[in-house]
Structure 1
């Protein structure tokens, strides 16, 4: 097994709440208007220090998507998912993008997530 190479980002970053490994730079943030089962979720162009799990189809509030869970490379905790394919034409912009669950990360200033508002809505698994 190879050595783990952890990327350290510059600027304002989002980190894994469990182990503080860097996950994304604020410059890569597309939208804060997403949600998941645990609350808010953010859409990013790129993320680092994650592994991608197997693909699966999930029915979400905006339709059927093929997604893959993403895991923090340092602590192996699920921190979000990657959009692999969107089957609804209006949702194609999500393909290749990443969701990080807000509850599972710390903000760029080191603060933990706090519930100050409700998400505007987007995707979540139907329950």
Structure 2
């Protein structure tokens, strides 16, 4: 089970929310890059994520060549993404303990506005993830 308290960001900051319960998850400035492993599942990699939990002992599975554990929202318990436990093949992006959240399960808030989080995109010619400009 998740923590008994939840961290909330200042509403003047731009940040991501769980689309199911509006739990605060990550600041937009902590969005690192878009990532699409060989499986075709895409998500956003964040430098820091809050109000989520991972039960590594519960269920490990493969996401392409990598071993991952599910990442859940602390408030509503919905599956939001994955934490990379083991990275087997050389991958320019994937690294151990990296957290990837599915952008389709997030919303973006800035002030009083809440919008759908932008679906990550990769360069169509090279299939290389696009790093977010800050």
**TM-score (normalised: structure 2):** 0.71
Match of 1:50 among 49, 52, 58: 52
| Equivalent runs, 1:2-21 vs 2, <5 Å | 4-10=4-10, 11-21=13-23
In the other structure, the counterpart of 1:25 is: 27
Contact 1:39-1:102 within 8 A present in 2 as well? no
- Give the gaps of 5 or more residues in structure 1: 123-127
After the TM superposition, which segments of 4 or more aligned residues of structure 1 sit over 6 Å from their partners?
35-39
In the other structure, the counterpart of 1:111 is: 115
In the other structure, the counterpart of 1:79 is: 80
Contact 1:65-1:87 within 8 A present in 2 as well? yes
Contact 2:34-2:43 within 8 A present in 1 as well? yes
Cα–Cα, structure 1 residues 3 and 40, in superposed 2: closer, same or farther, change >3 Å? closer
**TM-score (normalised: structure 1):** 0.75
The structure with the largest strand share of the pair is 1
- The two structures, once aligned, show a CA RMSD in angstroms of 3.1
TM-superposed deviation, 1:20: 0.3
Cα–Cα, structure 1 residues 38 and 91, in superposed 2: closer, same or farther, change >3 Å? closer
Cα–Cα, structure 1 residues 59 and 38, in superposed 2: closer, same or farther, change >3 Å? closer
